[in-house]
Amino acid sequence: MTEIKFEDNLTYPKEKETIKFKGEEPFKIYYKIGNLFKDVFELSGKDIFERKLKWDSTSEDKPFYVKWEIEKKIDTWTKIFVTVVVQGSQNSATRKGNIIITIVPAFITKVETGFLQRTFWWLYYFIFYKKKRIHDFYFAKNLINKFKIEIGKLYGIEVEESL
């Protein structure tokens, strides 16, 4: 079996989206992001993965680092894969700090085919699936923009949409 794989960047021409904030309660995203994933991407808990959480409680300004990954299936072959990295610090006395939120979204189509299936799949792709995939790509791009806007609302800042 061979694999046919298409991977598109949903933030093109940039490699990733970055949101910066300085002010009150920067760590509040940790408690809210699970609901943001569920509401914006319409996911269940099994599709949200918290890969890493680091928190230094020994200093006055407590630095933190959190990484999430989500996977939203579009159809049998296509999915949206998003990595969100949050890093910053929050002062324990004043509750003020800074945060950098990095969003790296990918639109991935992966098909496993045998020798004979490959020919039929390419035929199906050019006649039907290519148009559907382009439609799904823009749907995914809109979801990423909606996610960025919701993060902006959480912090009370305006976030620029991707084109």
Q: How many domains does the chain have?
A: 1
Quote the CA–CA distance of 82 and 85 in Å, as a whole number. Answer: 10
Task: Output the pLDDT for position 125.
Answer: 93
- Domain membership of residue 75 (yes or no) is yes
- Domain membership of residue 78 (yes or no) is yes
Task: Output the pLDDT for position 161.
Answer: 75
pLDDT, one tens digit per residue, over 42-70 is 998 889 999 999 988 888 889 999 999 99
- Domain membership of residue 163 (yes or no) is no
- Domain membership of residue 46 (yes or no) is yes
pLDDT, one tens digit per residue, over 72-82 is 999 999 999 99
CB-based contacts of 139: which residues, under 8 Å, 6+ apart? 74
- Domain membership of residue 108 (yes or no) is yes
What is the domain range of residue 16? Answer: 2-155
- Domain membership of residue 24 (yes or no) is yes
- Domain membership of residue 162 (yes or no) is no
Task: Output the pLDDT for position 59.
Answer: 83
The angle that helices 130-155 and 29-41 make with each other, rounded to 10 degrees, is: 150
- Domain membership of residue 160 (yes or no) is no
Which DSSP string do the residues of the chain spell out, in sequence order?
-EEEEEEEETTTTSSSEEEEEEEE-GGGHHHHHHHHHHHHH---GGGEEEEEEEE--SSSEEEEEEEEEEEEE-SSSEEEEEEEEEEEEEETTT-EEEEEEEEEEEEEEEEEE-HHHHHHHHHHIIIIIHHHHHHHHHHHHHHHHHHHHHHHHHHT---PPP-
Low-confidence ranges of the chain (pLDDT < 50): none
